Every structure is written in structure tokens, then in C-alpha cells.
């Protein structure tokens, strides 16, 4: 039996309770969690913006140590450090055959499986495949990636979502080039990773936008050269900071219609707008035909940073070892499982960067 944060039903508070995990069968791995990041997507799962079977153990951004492996698992062994991959690719669907593993048709297939049971026998699902809000988890072998050398074991959890997403948004989706200007809307965990990625890419001006003035210090520490408090005038302020043109690239990390529209309006003519934030179906964004023609901008969605974790983790590890990428700068509080509900409240209130659940 291990302690876990369970979502009993959509819209219900999380319950910290004890669950019973099975031993890993063929192609499965049991992992003792070192840490798990509290991502906005977990909040979206709890309130129904994103849908998964419930009751479920949430948490999809994690790292830990292999406890045991099932038959056929050879790429990791007991005692190995690993990073959890919540969106494993099947390798044979249409998108995987095109190399677009982040769009794999079967990536979330495991979310519908029975993951564990509570003390009273209630069956639980694994949220986004990996159920990282628990002391231990059992996952498919393709949901674990070896932890690269030189990466701090606790902060490594952030590689599983925030960093892959932010880095990929800059380097794979928007393809930021040296000397370009970048505006990042939303300075949470993903936004902070995006700011660092823009700095690594060599952006000449990096503008951070957030509703909270208190996040300016975090943003500048991550690489922002300028900070704008979000308002109806956001796009005008960004254009004023970029010689009246607008930014070459805008990355939206919030998932709201107003910020997507502000990102679009902040982008120069011919620029690129990348949407990372996950919004609800009620968030409708409108454009008229003439502006689409006139501005010649590119608007694109971005899933998991358009990343291939197996390819990108070694690259990120090299940036970490070289001091270019600072994982600890994303973390604004370290908590236990009991602190997750308060971390959700802070996200709703727009406070802080990434909360990190650290297991004893």
C-alpha cells in the first residue's frame, strides 16, 4: 500500500489516501517517485477541461527510481533513475510513421486501464498514464526513460512535461532563430521553461507577460529582458518594445481566448504564434478573413512541445550540465502530497511557478 492523491470524480477535491498497486507484469515497471511536478493540466483534469476516466490517480510529471521490472523489460533495471513519459508513442500509427510522435494516436490509451485499488476495493485509473501523485507507481515500460547523468533527481521531474513543452515550443514549433524577438504569455512552470529556452535559442529580446506583477523577478531570472503586466493594452506594449513591429514569435502558455488573441496581436506581420496552453471548448477565438491575409502570420498549436522525449532528453541534459538550463529556477515551492490542493488554488490565483511534490 502506498499513499496517493486520488480524484474521486470530476469537480471533487483530491483525496490523499492509500492505494494498492499490482506487481509489474510483462512489459511493466514499478517506480518509487522522487518528485512530481504539479502541472496546470492536472488542474484541467480535475475540473473536467480535459477528460480522463475517473476515479483516477493524477500526476503526469515525475521522476524516480525503478523498484522492479516485469518480464521483457531490458532498457531499465532496479535502482535506475528514470523520468516518466506520460505520452508514450506506439511507433506504428500514422503520426508515428511520419515522425510526429507527440501526436501518437495511442498515446493516452493506458489512461483507461485499471491502475490500482483503494483499501475498500474501488478501482482507480492512472490519469495521464503514469499516476505520479503517489509514492510509487506501476507503468508501461515505454513510459519510463533513463535519467541522464548530471540531472538533479528531484528537479528531473520537470523534464517530463514543463521543460519538454517549453523547450519544444521554442525549438521545434516556433523554431526561434538567433536574434529574433520573443514574447511569452503566462509565467507559470511552462512559461518559465519557455523563457529559458528562448534565451538558449539566442533571442535578442524576450518579453514576459503575466497578470501578476509579482512574477517579474521570476521571469527576469529565467531570461526575460522585459516584463509586461497583462491588460487590454498588452499587444500595444509589446509592439512598443519591438520598434512598432511586434515580436517575431509569440508563445501562449495560458490557454484562454483572450491571451491567444493577445499573442496573435503581439506578433509582427509574417511572424509565428504558437499556442501551448490548454483551454476549454468555451474559449472561442475569432479572426476575420482580411486580417489573416494582411498579417500573414502563422498560428499553430503545440502538443507536448512537439517533442520526442527519447531524442530531446539527452539534449536537455547537456544544457543542464553546461549551466544553460536551470531546473531549480522553475520551482517556487516544494510540498508533500497534502500540499497539492493548495498548489491548485495557487495556479487558479496565478501565483508562483512550479510546485514540486518531493517524496521522503
Provide the angle, in degrees to the nearest 10, between the axes of the packed helices 340-348 and 40-47. Answer: 90
pLDDT score, position 341: 94
CB-based burial label for 114 (10 Å; 0-12, 13-18, 19+): exposed
One-character DSSP codes across 84-102: E-SS---SSSHHHHTT-GG
How would residue 146 be classed by pLDDT, with cut points 50, 70 and 90?
Answer: very high
Sign of the torsion formed by the C-alpha atoms of 341, 347, 351 and 353:
positive
DSSP state of 358: E
Q: Which pLDDT belongs to residue 272?
A: 98
- Digit-coded pLDDT (tens) for 94-105: 999 999 999 999
User: What pLDDT was estimated at residue 183?
Assistant: 98
Residue 52 has pLDDT above 90, yes or no: no
* Backbone phi and psi for residue 44, each to the nearest 5 degrees, phi listed first: -65, -35
Which pLDDT band holds residue 35 (cuts at 50, 70, 90)?
A: very high
Angle between helices 234-241 and 257-266 (to 10 degrees): 30
Phi first, then psi, for residue 300 (nearest 5°) are -140, 145
pLDDT tens digits for 218-273? 999 999 999 999 999 999 999 999 999 999 999 999 999 999 999 999 999 999 99
Q: What is the largest CA-CA distance in the chain?
A: 63
Q: Which of 176, 169, 208 is nearest to 192 (CA)?
A: 208
Those residues with Cβ within 8 angstroms of residue 291's Cβ, 6 or more apart along the chain or in another chain: none
More confident residue, 229 or 351: 229
Neighbours of 103 (CB within 10 A): 17
- 118-142 mean pLDDT: 96
Give the domains, in start order, of the chain with CATH numbers.
2-159+327-358 (3.90.180.10), 169-302 (3.40.50.720)
Amino acid 319: pLDDT: 98
Of all residues in the chain, what percent carry a pLDDT higher than 70? 100
With 0-12 CB in 10 A as exposed, 13-18 as middle and 19+ as buried, what is 285?
middle
Where b means 16+ CB within 10 Å and e means fewer, 218-240 reads: bbeebbbbbbbebeeebbebbbe
Reduced to 3 states, what is the DSSP secondary structure of residue 56? strand
For the segment 144-155, the average pLDDT, to the nearest whole number, is 96
Cβ atoms 214, 155 nearer than 8 A:
no
- The arithmetic mean of pLDDT across residues 118-145, rounded, is 97
Q: What's the rounded mean pLDDT across residues 156-164?
A: 97
Residue 260 gets which letter from DSSP?
Answer: H
Q: How does DSSP classify residue 181?
A: E
Sheet with 123-124, strands from edge to edge, namely 56-57, 2-7, 15-20, 116-118, 123-124
C-alpha cell at 249: 514569435
Check: CB of residue 99 under 8 Å from CB of residue 40: no
User: Does residue 343 carry a pLDDT above 90?
Assistant: yes
SS3 196: helix
Instruction: Check residue 123 and give its pLDDT.
Output: 97
| β partners of residue 177 | none
Q: Are 84 and 144 in contact (CB under 8 A)?
A: yes
Q: Are strands 205-210 and 181-185 parallel, antiparallel or unpaired?
A: parallel
Average pLDDT over residues 310-330: 97
Residues forming a β-bridge with 7: 56
Whether the pLDDT of residue 50 is over 90: the answer is no
Q: Which 8-state DSSP code applies to residue 345?
A: H
* pLDDT at 22 exceeding the cut of 90: yes
pLDDT at 51: 86
- pLDDT-above-90 percentage for the chain: 96
Name the pLDDT band for 185 (thresholds 50, 70, 90): very high
- pTM exceeds 0.75 for this model: yes
Residue 37: name the closest of 351, 360, 349, 331 by CA.
Answer: 331
- Chain mean pLDDT for the chain: 96
> What pLDDT band is residue 143 in, cutting at 50, 70 and 90?
very high
The predicted structure's pLDDT at residue 69:
98
Intra-chain end-to-end CA distance of the chain, in Å? 16
Amino acid at each position: 500500500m502506498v499513499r496517493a492523491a486520488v480524484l474521486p470524480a470530476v469537480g471533487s477535491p483530491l483525496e490523499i489516501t492509500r492505494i494498492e498497486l499490482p506487481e509489474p507484469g510483462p512489459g511493466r515497471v514499478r517506480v518509487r517517485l522522487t518528485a512530481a511536478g504539479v502541472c496546470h493540466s492536472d488542474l484541467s483534469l480535475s475540473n473536467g477541461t480535459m477528460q480522463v476516466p475517473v476515479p483516477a490517480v493524477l500526476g503526469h510529471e515525475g521522476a524516480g527510481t525503478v523498484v522492479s521490472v516485469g518480464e521483457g523489460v531490458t532498457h531499465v533495471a532496479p535502482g535506475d533513475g528514470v523520468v516518466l513519459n506520460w505520452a508514450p508513442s506506439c511507433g506504428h500509427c500514422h503520426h508515428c510513421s511520419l515522425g510526429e510522435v507527440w501526436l501518437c494516436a495511442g498515446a493516452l490509451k493506458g489512461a483507461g486501464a485499471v491502475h490500482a485499488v483503494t483499501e475498500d476495493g474501488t478501482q482507480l485509473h492512472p490519469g495521464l498514464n503514469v499516476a505520479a501523485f503517489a509514492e510509487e507507481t506501476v507503468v508501461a515500460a515505454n513510459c519510463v526513460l533513463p535519467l541522464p547523468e548530471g540531472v538533479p533527481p528531484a528537479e528531473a521531474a520537470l523534464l517530463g512535461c514543463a521543460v519538454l513543452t517549453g523547450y519544444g515550443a521554442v525549438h521545434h514549433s516556433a523554431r526561434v532563430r538567433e536574434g529574433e524577438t520573443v514574447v511569452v504569455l503566462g509565467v507559470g512552470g511552462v512559461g518559465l521553461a519557455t523563457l529559458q529556452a528562448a534565451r538558449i535559442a539566442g533571442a535578442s529580446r524576450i518579453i514576459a507577460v503575466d497578470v501578476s506583477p509579482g512574477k517579474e523577478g521570476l521571469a527576469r531570472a529565467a531570461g526575460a529582458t522585459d516584463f509586461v503586466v497583462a491588460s487590454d493594452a498588452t499587444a500595444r506594449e509589446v509592439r512598443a518594445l519591438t520598434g512598432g513591429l511586434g515580436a517575431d514569435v509569440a508563445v501562449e502558455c495560458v490557454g484562454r481566448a483572450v491571451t491567444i488573441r493577445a499573442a496573435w496581436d503581439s506578433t509582427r506581420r509574417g511572424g509565428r504564434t504558437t499556442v501551448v496552453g490548454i483551454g476549454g471548448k468555451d474559449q472561442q477565438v475569432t479572426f476575420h478573413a482580411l486580417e489573416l491575409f494582411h498579417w500573414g502570420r502563422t498560428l499553430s498549436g503545440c502538443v507536448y512541445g512537439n517533442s520526442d522525449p527519447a531524442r530531446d532528453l539527452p539534449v536537455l541534459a547537456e544544457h543542464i550540465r553546461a549551466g544553460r538550463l536551470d531546473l531549480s529556477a522553475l520551482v517556487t515551492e516544494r510540498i508533500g502530497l497534502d500540499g497539492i490542493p493548495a498548489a491548485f488554488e495557487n495556479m487558479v490565483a496565478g501565483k508562483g511557478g512550479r510546485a514540486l511534490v518531493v517524496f521522503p
